[in-house]
Amino acid sequence: MQYFLFITVSVLWGINFVLMKYAVTTYTPLGVAAIRVASGAAILGAIFFIRERNWPFRITDVAPLALIVVLGYTWPFFIQPHLIQFCGSGVIGLMPSLVPLVTIAISVPLLGVWPSTRQFTGVLIGLGLIALLFLDGVNRRIDTIHLLLAVTVPFSYAISNTYVKKRFSGVPPEGLTFVCLAITSAVLIPSCLLEGESALDRFAASDQVILSTLCAIWLGVFGTGIALLFFTLMLQRRGPLFAGMVTYIIPIIALFAGAWDGEYVSWLQILALTGILAMVTVVQWPEKKQMDS
């Protein structure tokens, strides 16, 4: 079951970057983020209120929820479509692949969880291969400020993922994800409306309104709502390192989805991603069980 969730989340998040690229042809990055979180909250709200009858949160959960909403939802949902306009979907799709290393660093003090030698070695080799992908991006003359902003995304996700495991491992995943998306919607929708005339001008000038809207809604329902539900299940059941390894698969899907859409893919990227996939297999391979004597 966990590997089905792992593959499904990887595919849904991998194609998100191309969907964002189409969505921002009509909507501003804030607009894309607002549609995304609102539609994701709607589908998860329906699931939550059908399956659950007890409210799982207390007043003491307000501050922890705020931290998760800011780092794991609001910031990455806004900054990624913004950066895709300048860097392309394939390049931005590489950035979450840093999550496992940051997760390892954060899990030690927050959770007291130490990776096995095999897991640590696999992650380090994978990161070396990812360095090749970043070198390829630098060779394309991406602005330094855009690259630095993109690097904030894996740090935000790693902190948020680890804190979910530490603070909310017993909360129903559909309830946790719904509440986080609903709070994020309450932040992003008013911010989007404040954009006012510039956002309306962009919408009026677009000739791809229907396609952009469908992409934004798909982002919300499947690429956000369903994917986050599955991801939260993995976080709670297997921990942030296992769940965070989806970020090694996402770049592969993102790059080839970008190539399908006409973006350039180099042989260096293909070679590095092949090695990354091998390292995912190494890290995710189940530990051998002790035999009874």
Distance CA 116, CA 281 (A): 14
- Average pLDDT over the chain, rounded to whole? 80
pLDDT of residue 288: 58
Asked whether 212 and 19 are in contact (CB, 8 A), the reply is no
Q: Tell me the domain boundaries of the chain.
A: 2-284
Give the phi and the psi of residue 58 in degrees, each rounded to 5. -120, 170
Distance CA 16, CA 40 (A): 13
pLDDT of residue 70: 92
| Ranges of H-type helices in the chain | 2-23, 29-51, 62-69, 75-87, 89-92, 99-111, 117-139, 144-167, 173-194, 197-205, 209-220, 227-238, 240-244, 246-260, 267-284
Residue with token string 């017993």 = 170
pLDDT, mean of residues 139-153: 78
- The DSSP code sequence of 21-67 is HHHTTTS-HHHHHHHHHHHHHHHHHHHHHHH--S----GGGHHHHHH
Low-confidence winner among 59-63, 100-104, 218-222, 227-231 (lowest mean pLDDT): 100-104
Two tokens at 277?
């996939």
pLDDT of residue 57: 84
Sign of the four-CA dihedral 277, 227, 238, 151: positive
More confident residue, 89 or 220: 220
The DSSP letter of residue 224 is I
pLDDT-based confidence at residue 101 (cuts at 50, 70, 90): low
Residue-wise pLDDT for 184-229, tens only, equals 999 888 888 777 656 666 776 677 888 888 999 999 999 988 998 8
Two tokens at 167?
């603070």
Q: Is the predicted pLDDT of residue 99 greater than 80, yes or no?
A: no
The DSSP letter of residue 113 is -
pLDDT, mean of residues 98-115: 69
Residue-wise pLDDT for 7-59, tens only, equals 899 999 989 989 998 998 888 888 888 999 999 999 988 888 877 667 778 88
pLDDT of residue 293: 39
**Could you tell me the CA-to-CA distances from 174 to 20, 40, 81, 133, 218 in Å, in that order?**
24, 11, 25, 35, 18
pLDDT of residue 1: 73
Q: Is the pTM of this model over 0.85?
A: no
Contacts of 38 (CB under 8 A, 6+ apart): 185, 189, 220
Q: Is the predicted pLDDT of residue 146 greater than 80, yes or no?
A: yes
Asked whether 46 and 177 are in contact (CB, 8 A), the reply is no
